[in-house]
Structure 1
Amino acid sequence: MRTSIAAAVCPFMGLVFCTAQPFNNITSKATNNTSTTSCISPADAILIANGFGQILSNFTTSWGDVLIADDYIDQSDSVATLMHSPNVLASDLGKTTFSSKASFLAGEAAQPGVPFSLLNTWSSCDAVTFRYVLSPPGLDVQGIAVAEVVEVAKNETGKGVGEGSQKWQIKTFYGEFNSAVWLTDLKDGIVGCDVSGNVTVAGNETVV
């Protein structure tokens, strides 16, 4: 998600980011959880959401391989908006952002971490929806995501997350966040980087 935004819009050179603690030491306990589930337990929903948060905040290829399914795809108009700003076209939106696990992990590996805080989780038999906050330098960025998951085969040891014998990986990810705030953070927080976007509201152009 933070994805190749930085590379596409402007490098994050010179920024100092807080580093999150490794997910391996995180339990499933979280506040403000409102999950009700018939298949994915509330505890596992939190593990899945926080697991994705670790990819954003404290990326390692080994952890990405544990959490992300081999046939992973990712779609986000928020990311597309930043990547194509300030001239976003209708043809830029609604498309797959990452069409493979390899391209997604490579994009994340190239970016600095951004602190992640989980707000809420909801889950069903095959998906976890969660709200979160990212805290880059500048204003916090709130977002919401739906992670469709698959159960890991029992013979695939070391793959997936889950408190019991049932383990899950993320197969499809849909995520949207406040890209206008993110763009403002880039513009205000990076010395020597000219980041701008034009938003037209009721015929009046506002420069962000």
Structure 2
Amino acid sequence: MKQVTVVDHPLVQHKLTQMRKRETSTAGFRRLLGEVSHLLCYEATRELPMTKETIETPLTDMEAPILAGKKLVFASVLRAGNGLLEGMLDLVPSARVAHIGLYRDPETLQPVEYYFKSPDDLSNRLTIVVDPMLATANSAIAAVDKLKERGAANLRFVCLLAAPEGIEKFSSAHPDVPIITASIDSHLNDHGYIVPGLGDAGDRMYGTK
């Protein structure tokens, strides 16, 4: 579990509890997801490189800290990843965006790719992969595989919930990619869903079945 950071801030945990509730509406779930994504983004970007520039305040000149290096990339695993993506873009509107279209075959639980679009230059950028659930980890592994094929070398994975089985499998496949999550839940059920979990994040976010 050394590869995993659990964001146990009280606001994150409170909002996550509201999201777990069966009676939470689609609008409420979507709003809470955006709010939690802000807080997860703070943790995921904690170690961004900084430099300084000379600025003029209303009182004097000063050397002030600013972000250094190329703009980072948010890589959303469609479709549910967009809920985290939108909130994170609120904080880092200049970030580049990659979209990775994957769906899970209901029988094999293996990922099937149907779309991929990313910035050309990933080699010198921090790439943060976002997907609400790290369950079987099959989709997460496939997404990171694809990004590495395109040259990404500095990656992080951000999710709301993670299952121990998913963490173990992801960490074995990509030991160099840190995981940032709001909770490590109990286990996966026979259908590959996280328990106690919060249901299907995409369905709850978009009001679909």
Q: TM-score, normalised by structure 2?
A: 0.28
Higher strand share: 2
